[in-house]
Amino acid sequence: MKEEWHQLLDSSTTLFARKGIRATSTDEIARHCGLHKRCFYEHFNSKESLVARIISTWLEKTDRYLSFNRHISSNAIIEMSNFFRIAERVVQTIQPVFFRDLREMYPSIWASVVHFRENQLAAFLRLNIRRGLHEDIYRRNLDQALLEKLYFTPLALVVEDRIPPECPIPSACRELNIIYLHGLVNLKGMKFIYEKQVN
């Protein structure tokens, strides 16, 4: 039973990421696992409960990663670059239609994503900026409160599929991340980036 639960969770995540939530039926998810449709309802009472589980699992994993990343990164630049790599991987594997469907179909679940962004992710950015200042690799004259919020503007463009069609989303995400990081660092930090080939 536990194996079936994991199969359904993994298959639905793959299908939702590629096709969106609306275009993926519970029948298709079960077929993708080689299971009967009734197996789906033995584990999840609705598509919404499945989506809620996927999102809560993602948010829990991301929260653990943010804490872990801080401890394994030798400085603020490395910490931010590691975070960017994860964000870029998400953009490469999840089509914007997934986020659009999530907002439109399940606003309460989307609200949990927004809450996570405005709390845990904002806290990560705030602590990273403080760390970079303490390590003397970020600019002293930067506006900390503004930069915490500023990161989410390009991220929203990517997630909401408002990047021009001629700009591949993964490339756009990467370039926006590089611009953001370069805007944080001072000359010492910039030298570190180019010596270590960070990002």
Global pTM value: 0.86
Look at residue 146 in the predicted model and tell me its pLDDT.
86
Per-residue pLDDT in tens (0 to 9) along the chain, 199 residues: 567 777 888 888 889 988 999 999 888 988 888 877 788 888 888 899 999 999 999 999 999 999 999 999 999 999 999 999 988 888 888 888 898 899 999 999 999 999 999 899 999 999 999 999 999 999 999 888 888 878 887 777 766 767 777 777 788 888 889 999 999 999 999 999 988 766 5
Look at residue 106 in the predicted model and tell me its pLDDT.
95
**Contact at 8 Å (CB) between 43 and 29?**
no
Phi, psi of 138, deg, nearest 5 = -110, 155
CA gap 72, 86 in Å, rounded: 15
